[in-house]
Structure 1
C-alpha cells in the first residue's frame, strides 16, 4: 500500500494525516511537526496499545517504520539531538514550535504517559481521565462578572459570549466534551491565565453579502455538542445526537479495515458501544465519518490556535459547513441574512470554492480571530490547578491527569 492514513495525537491536539510510504523520514517528521506543534528535531513517536516508542532512523523512507494504514501515533517532544562536533562551539538556539493544531483537547499528553493508574482510573481511557480532571477543576468555580474570563467562564458555557442566547453549561459536561481532539466534542471558554482582550463581536459581515454576516449559534453543553452542532449545520436541528451517534457506529462496523483498533484507540465493538452512550464525546474520528455521511466538508475552527481543519476535503465534495471549537465545546457557525436575523433564515451550507464561499470563509476567519483576541477559549495546557486533596500545585491538563492516575485524586480547583 503506497499511501498511509494515520491518526496522530500530539501535545496540542490530534489530526489525521496521509503520507506516502515512499516519502522520506525527514518529510514525514516535518509533516508531523506541522500537525502536532512538536519541532521535527525533537519528535518521538509512539504506537500500539499501550504506546511503545518507535525507533526512527535518521534516513530512509516511511515504509521502514513498519506502520500500517489506520495506525494511531502519539507524538511527543523529546530532547533535541546533540549538535554535530563542528558546531559544538556555536551557541545553540532552541527550535521554535510551529502553530499548534486545533483541538483542543491535548489528550495525547496523557496517552503518552503510563496507562496503569490508581483505583478509579485504571478502567478509563486517557481521554476520559483528562475530561474528569478538567471537569473537577471547573466544577466549583464562582461565576465571573461580565468582563471576567476565567475557568468559571468555561464551566458556565455562556461566559464571555455576546448576546443573551448563551446558555449555561454544566461544568462536568463541558469538560467531558473536551477530551477527544481536534476537534473533539466540547466547546471553548477562556481558562487562560491572561486577561481577557475585550468582548468579541457577535457576528462578522460577509464582504459583498448585502448585510449578511457569519454568526455563532450556541449548542447545549450536554456531552453531545459535536453531534448537535453538526445536526444544526447539516439539518437545522439541535436534536440529532442520538441518531448521529448510531450513524458513526454503523459506519465503523461497516468498514473494520479502515476503522481498526489502532485507528479507533479501542476495540471496534467497544468503540461502537462507547460512542452511542449519551455522556461520551466525539472528536476527529466522528467528524471524519460525518463528513462522509453527509457528503459535505466540515470545517472546524479552533479559537485558541485560529486554525481550521477541513474534514472530507479530499473527497471532492462541493459544499461546506462550519463549526467553531473553544477547547471544550463545539458551536455552529451560520450565515445570517442580516444582523439579528432569526435562526429560521440561517444558511449553514455553501459552495466552498465559489466566490461567495470564499467571502464566507474570510468572515468566519475574522470572527474566530476576534474571538481569539477576546481570549474566549480554554487553554487546557496552561491553566493552573491545585489538588483539593493534597494541595499540590499543578499546571495544565497533563499534570492534572498524571496526578489523578498516580493518586486517584480528582478534586481540582483553578487558582
Structure 2
C-alpha cells in the first residue's frame, strides 16, 4: 500500500520565507534568499519596459533596491520571475481561500514545484514516502503531464490545504492584530501595517492576540 503523503516543510520566518521555500523545492536548499533576490533584481532592471512603475507599484530602480532588502517580503511578482528563472511551474496554495495560483502555466514547462501560503508566511510542499519521513527523501519536483496535472502529489496537496483550512491554520490579513517589534505600537490588518511601515520605516511586526 502506498503511504505517500504531502508534507509541509517549515521555512524559517525571517521575511525571506518565499525565497527560501522556492530554494527548497527547486534545489533542496533553504538558504537561497539572497541569491534569488539578486536574480529577481537583475531580471527586473534588465527589462524596464515590462517591469514598469505601473506593474511594480514603484519605479523600476526603487523596486530593485527594495527587493534586495532582506526585510522585504515577496509575492506574486517574485514567484512569476522565479518560475521563469527555473523554467518550472510554481503552484502556490493559499490556505485561507484554498486557491492554487499556478505561475508559468502558459510557458509549456515540463515540471512543477509546490509552496503553501498561510496569509503571512510561505512554506515548502514535498511528497514524502510516509508521514514523518526525513527531508532528504523528499520529492519536490514533479513531471507535468499533457493534461496539466502532476499525479497523486496534486491530490495530496489539495487534501493538505483543505485540512489546514478546516483547522484554520491561516492568518486573516484583513483582521489580524500585529505589534510593531520596534516601537510596540499595535495595528489591525495588513492595511494598517503597511501604513505604519510607510510612516515610520518600521517593518518588524509580530502577530499577537
Q: Same fold (TM over 0.5)?
A: yes
Q: Distance in 2 between matches of 1:248 and 1:409?
A: 24
Equivalent in 66, 84, 99 of residue 307 of structure 1: 99
Structure 1: gaps of 5 or more residues: 1-208, 388-392
2:38 is aligned to 246
Q: CA RMSD in A?
A: 3.0
- 2:132 is aligned to 340
Shift of the alpha carbon at 1:353? 2.6
Q: Which residue of 1 aligns with 2:113?
A: 321
Between 313-322 and 347-356, report the one with greater CA deviation: 347-356
Q: Normalization by structure 2: what TM-score?
A: 0.85
Structure 2: gaps spanning 5 or more residues: 181-185
Whole-angstrom CA distance in 1 between matches of 2:202 and 2:46: 40
Question: Using the alignment, how far apart are the partners of 1:293 and 1:409 within structure 2?
Answer: 31
Task: Give the 3 Å change call, closer, same or farther, for CA 268–374 of structure 1 in structure 2.
Answer: same
Alignment counterpart, residue 62 of structure 2, candidates 261, 270, 286 = 270
Residue in 1 that maps onto 2:79 = 287
Determine the structure 2 residue equivalent to 1:352. Answer: 144
TM alignment of 1:73-152, pairs within 5 A: none
Structure ranking higher on relative contact order (CA contacts 8 Å, 6+ apart): 2
- Quick one: distance in 1 between partners of 2:36 and 2:198? 32
Q: 1:269 to 1:331 in 2, by over 3 A?
A: same
| TM-score normalised by the chain length of structure 1 | 0.44
Q: CA deviation at 1:297?
A: 0.3
Label 1:409 to 1:338 Cα distance change in 2 as closer, same or farther (>3 A): closer
2:172 matches 1:379: yes
**What secondary structure sits across from 1:310 in the alignment?**
strand
Change (3 A) 1:406 1:213: closer
Mapped pair 1:225 → 2:17: yes
Q: How far apart are the structure 2 equivalents of 1:217 and 1:234? A: 13
Runs of 4 or more consecutive aligned structure 1 residues displaced over 4 Å after TM superposition: 384-387, 399-415
Partner of 1:17: none
Higher helix content, 1 or 2: 2
Deviation at 1:255, TM superposition (A): 1.4
